[in-house]
Structure 1
Amino acid sequence: MLTDAYDATHNPDGYINLNAAQNTLQQAELLDFLSSRFTLKDVDFTFGDDFSGSQRLLKALARFVNKQFDPIKQVTQEDIVVGSGCGPISEQLLHFIADQGDGVLIPVPYFPGYTGDLMLRNGLKPVAVPVKLEDHFSATTIPLFEAALKQAEADGTPIRAVILCNPHNPLGQCYPKETILAYARFCEEHDLHLVCDEIFAFSIFPSDDVPNASPFVSALSLDLQKEAGCNPSRVHVMYGFSKDFNANGLRAGALISPYNNDILTAVRATSNYMKISGATSVLWSLILEDDAFWLQFLAENRKRLAKAYRFATAWLKFQHIPYFPAYAGHFVSGKSLRPVEEDKGAARDAEMIRRLLAAKVFVGSAAAFAYPTPGWVRITFAMRRDYLVVGLARLESVFELPRYAGLDGEKAQGKNHVLELGEVLEKTAL
């Protein structure tokens, strides 16, 4: 698919990727900024002065974290390890907090990349916690974590950690402070590590769908000992630059653990396996050292994400496709299929994805994200409008949906379509 990607001029029949969580809404501005400032020094052609990034980048990142994450304790560059993305950071961290065969609790649905970070080389088990969508961000879910932990250990899988994705991927909302503290209490009670993935921290936007949205609260900003009785050394934050700054290809992520020098020392010992390049370190340093630029960039990011979300959800509403209301991230989750009792909808979901791939449009499937019920898909909206229009038009074609006039820049005319995608699939006897 990557070698046959859609291009309006050179490859109009290529694949449209509505699955990848990558924001391209301000790439032109980012390119202009970096192109006008990027220079390399002799040290950038060497191993540099720190395997976990560079001293320049660590200093700039610590300063950014102190300004943006409101940490209860000022973060220093000694509290941070930088690697080539949050995936490698996650894998290295998990390697040191759990042993092969151990389990990690993750509420469903969850980012599929965690599965690889846990299983491929670490030999760990993702243990899904069956949280209902409507309750996902509530502290009332903790009994479900208790039950999942008890069952896993009864089955011979010791639990060593919990992963909390905040803002959440794929649901696009933030956890309230009270829920984060409840997670921390749970981890303290059961001697677990709490891994807080905050990679979408500043991809938050105003949404009419969630008028009283919970703001983003970083785990770094909480007095965990005082408010939750939790030893802060068991809580680790991951942050990556790629999502908020429109640059998935400039691979860099950070582990921030101000209260656990032993973990940081261990991860630094293997950081050569995930070292970022000297050039990448320079690029991110340029951004983080320029307060005026990144403040304006993040503000504009919020505006463009809000506009793109409104466009995508207007299409979903027109097609009468239920969706989970969001105000964070690059994506929205829509419910395209009704469960089928015989197979719980799994076979029909798979057939839906095959049809979409045949039409050269890719979305995130329910199976990939471990949705508690089949029929959901994740659609990325943080992309060029002309590309998004082509992707949505292909969805209309696959499911024989009416043309949404908004894709043509015109006002919708006529009666709204009243069939859900599930009804369309039933009529075509998948």
Structure 2
Amino acid sequence: MLPQEIIRAKRDGGVLDPAAITELIEGLVSGRVSEGQAAAFAMAVFFRGLEHSETVALTCAMRDSGTVLDWSDLSRPVVDKHSTGGVGDNISLMLAPIVAACGAAVPMISGRGLGHTGGTLDKMESIPGYRVAPDNALFRRTVATVGCAIIGQTEALAPADKRLYAIRDVTATVESIPLITASILSKKLAAGLNGLVLDVKTGSGAFMAERDGARQLAHSLVAVANGAGLRTTALLTDMDQPLADHAGNAVEVDHAVRFLTGARRDPRVEAVTLALAGEMLVLAGLAKDLEAGTARARDALDSGAAAETFARMVAALGGPVDFLERLDDHLPRAPLQRVVAAPADGYVHAMDTRGLGLAVVALGGGRTRPQDPVDHAVGLAEIVPMGRRITRGEPLAIIHARDAASAEAAAQRVVSALRILEAAPEAAAHPVLERIGA
């Protein structure tokens, strides 16, 4: 079938045959389908949508456009998690070693930050020597011996997704739930998983700020993943404030290590991490139910087994063998730290979480273009939580910056992002808002 006929059929609201979708995706990878034709297809989908069967077909075609990993030689069940992204979301750094310490294999293929959201790979690159792009032999050996490896997407995994996303990015067709669904899941299906848990964020710092839109995306992801043969559940979680009280790269790694070692644990981070871990362990067949899975994850955390697993992963992938013991010596530190003082007495009622993320970007800790460099040392630390009673002059956050000018600009952004009122607010909701099963 000619590409233009496939485009015409979708433009006119038709339901595409799976074979036609596969042909289009194969043509995109081989060059038989031009960028203009791929853009026209994306725009047709943007306006006409896709039926469930079409989204499953698109996801599988994109998965099959490259290598599909095979972990059948492992004795461990293979599971992973995907987050739609947010501010202070360093859950992956704790979750992978917790679940691995419980007996699962977690080959976590992660991404970089773009816009106001942070990226797991940028955080891991804060660790001196850590290889986010190991060769396949080292990647597989680390997963087999340690139980987890946090790395980046290789060129061989779902190359059609990379090409189609680049086209969507410049043609205003990113915000399409079927296309977002296929993009996320094609990479996870290519990772050869037995189970997947999705952390779909909603709130002022989330990609899907409105809860209804986030819920719709979560339902689409769960339905399509299961339709493609991957057992999947999702949690809808709150991003109306940063998840951790640190936002940046090295500062979030520091936070994660102190969480794993028990030096400091935020209740919100702990709640989301253990909820996701419980889901993963049930999908892996390592826990009979969510309660048992959460309890097992907590044991791995409290016993120190998860921290030890994280340390072994870092060393196996080229990082310092004494990273946990000499954390302060190994992580990059910004030369200037500045306290942001509260301008008035009152309670923190609301946050522009996206604005806080953009403050990190402006400091140099994020990027607005994929090719931009990242300063791993800068960021925000000890961000005051919502609902906290504060007095004038009390710290709202601590800025880690390269110079006084960027610190001042970030301080203004932090003050603008926080709404302080005299009356006490209602108690904050639990950070796990909903569970969406198959």
Query: Could you state the TM-score of these two structures normalised by the residue count of structure 1?
Result: 0.33
Tell me: higher relative CO, structure 1 or 2? Use CA pairs within 8 A at least 6 residues apart: 1
Query: Could you state the TM-score of these two structures normalised by the residue count of structure 2?
Result: 0.32
